[in-house]
C-alpha cells in the first residue's frame, strides 16, 4: 500500500532547542493514523511542517509523492487541515465564513455555497448557520474548524487535537464521523494525547515522545507486544489464586475489589495460557472475566514511555 505521507529524518530546532528529531513517518493511503503523545511531545510542530506552515531545520517531507514545502500549493489542494486552535473571522456568520473559505480554495460560488451547506449539516452546525463566529462556544468553533477541513472534498485530512474543545457526546459523534470518512476512502492523520480516542478511531499509530518517534505501525501489530498484567474473575477467586500462586509464570497475584490481578513472567507466558483453562476445568470453576488489565495502546505506552 503506497504511503500518502512520508518523512525522512524530519528535524526542527527553535534556536538550540530540539523540538522534533529525525522523524520518519509512514502514513499509508486509506489509513486512519493516530499521532499519539503527551502534550509538548512535538505533535503540533510536526503538523505545522507537514502543512508547510513551518520550514524544517532539515529532513524531507513527501505528501502524495510531492515535496513539501516546494510543492505546497499543489499538495494543499488535496489536503484538509484542522489546526489545534480554531481560526475564523469572528464577525462573519458560519455560512459566510465557510462560503468564503470555499472560494479561497478555488470553488465556483455556487459550489462553495453548496459545500458550505453540506459541511455545516455534516458537522452539526447547520442550525447555527447565521450565527456570528464570535457568538459560538469553543466546542461549536471546533466543529466549524472541522467543517473547513472538509471543504473541497480533500483526499487527506490532517487534524490537530480535533476533539480538545468537544463535550463527551461531541467526541463520540466526531469518532463516528472519522470512521465514516475512512470508510469513504479518505486518509486521516490525527494528533491526540487521548489514548482511548486513538484506539477507537485509528488502525495505524505513531508514538512520539520528546520529539522522537518511539514506535509506529498497525495498531493490531503493535498490540501484539506482550502484556503481562491480566484481570481474572472466576466463581471462586481464592481457589484459583491458591492454584496459581506457586507457578513459574506468576510474578505476582492478588485480589482487588473482587478481581484477581495477575502479573506474568513473560518468558513463560505461553505456559500460563496453556495451563489456565486446564486449571479452571480441574477446579470446576466458572470463568466470568479474562482481559488485559490495560488496553493494548496503554500497555504499549507504558512500555515505550517507561510509565510502568
Q: What is the mean pLDDT of residues 76-95?
A: 92
Q: Is the backbone peptide bond immediately before 61 cis, with ω within 30 degrees of 0?
A: no
Q: What is the mean pLDDT of residues 132-140?
A: 94
**117 and 19 within one domain:** yes
Cβ neighbours of residue 170 closer than 8 Å, sequence gap 6 or more = 139, 142, 143, 163
pLDDT at 196 > cutoff 90: no
**85 and 161 within one domain:** yes
pLDDT at 157 > cutoff 50: yes
Q: What is the pLDDT of residue 308?
A: 43
Locate cell 472475566: which residue? 289
The residue ranking higher by pLDDT, 270 or 303, is 270
Looking at the domain assignment, is residue 153 inside a domain? yes
pTM of the full structure = 0.80
Backbone angles phi, psi at 186, to 5 degrees: -75, 150
**173 and 277 within one domain:** no
**293 and 203 within one domain:** no
Q: What is the mean pLDDT of residues 96-104?
A: 96
pLDDT at 226 > cutoff 60: no
Where are the strands (E) in the chain, listed by range?
3-14, 17-23, 26-28, 32-36, 58-63, 66-68, 79-82, 156-160, 187-192, 204-209, 212-218, 229-234, 250-256, 259-264, 287-292
Domain of 238?
229-304
Total count of domains within the chain: 2
Lowest mean pLDDT of 127-141, 233-247, 267-281, name the range.
267-281
The residues facing 20 across adjacent strands are 12
State what percent of residues in the chain have pLDDT above 70.
94
CATH code for the domain in which residue 198 is found: 3.40.50.300
Looking at the domain assignment, is residue 169 inside a domain? yes
Q: What is the pLDDT of residue 189?
A: 98
Amino acid at each position: 500500500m503506497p504511503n500518502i505521507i512520508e518523512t525522512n529524518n524530519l528535524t526542527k530546532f527553535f534556536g538550540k532547542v530540539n523540538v522534533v528529531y529525525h522523524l520518519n513517518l509512514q502514513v499509508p493511503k486509506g489509513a486512519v493514523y493516530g499521532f499519539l503523545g503527551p502534550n509538548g511531545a512535538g505533535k503540533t510542530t510536526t503538523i505545522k511542517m507537514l502543512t508547510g506552515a513551518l520550514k524544517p531545520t532539515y529532513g524531507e517531507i513527501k505528501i502524495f509523492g510531492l515535496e513539501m514545502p516546494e510543492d505546497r500549493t499543489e499538495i494543499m489542494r488535496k489536503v484538509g487541515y484542522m489546526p489545534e486552535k480554531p481560526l475564523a473571522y469572528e464577525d462573519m456568520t458560519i455560512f459566510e465564513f465557510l462560503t468564503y473559505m470555499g472560494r479561497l480554495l478555488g470553488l465556483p460560488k455556487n459550489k462553495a455555497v453548496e459545500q458550505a451547506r453540506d459541511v455545516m449539516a455534516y458537522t452539526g452546525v447547520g442550525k447555527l448557520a447565521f450565527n456570528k463566529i464570535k457568538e459560538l462556544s469553543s466546542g461549536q468553533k471546533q466543529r466549524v474548524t472541522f467543517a473547513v477541513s472538509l471543504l473541497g472534498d480533500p483526499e487527506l485530512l490532517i487534524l490537530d487535537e480535533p476533539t480538545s474543545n468537544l463535550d463527551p457526546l461531541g467526541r463520540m459523534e466526531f469518532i463516528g464521523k472519522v470512521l465514516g470518512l475512512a470508510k469513504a476512502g479518505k486518509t486521516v492523520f490525527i494528533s491526540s494525547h487521548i489514548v482511548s480516542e486513538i484506539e477507537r478511531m485509528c488502525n495505524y499509530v505513531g508514538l512520539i515522545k520528546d520529539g522522537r518517534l518511539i514506535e509506529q505501525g498497525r495498531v493490531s501489530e503493535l498490540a501484539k507486544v506482550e502484556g503481562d498484567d491480566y484481570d481474572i474473575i472466576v466463581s471462586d477467586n481464592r481457589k484459583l489464586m491458591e492454584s496459581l500462586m506457586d507457578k513459574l509464570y506468576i510474578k505476582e497475584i492478588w485480589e482487588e475489589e473482587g478481581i484477581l490481578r495477575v502479573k506474568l513472567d513473560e518468558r513463560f507466558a505461553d505456559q500460563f495460557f496453556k495451563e489456565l483453562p486446564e486449571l479452571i476445568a480441574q477446579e470446576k470453576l466458572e470463568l466470568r472475566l479474562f482481559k488485559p488489565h490495560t488496553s493494548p495502546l496503554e500497555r504499549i505506552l507504558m512500555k515505550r514511555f517507561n510509565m510502568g
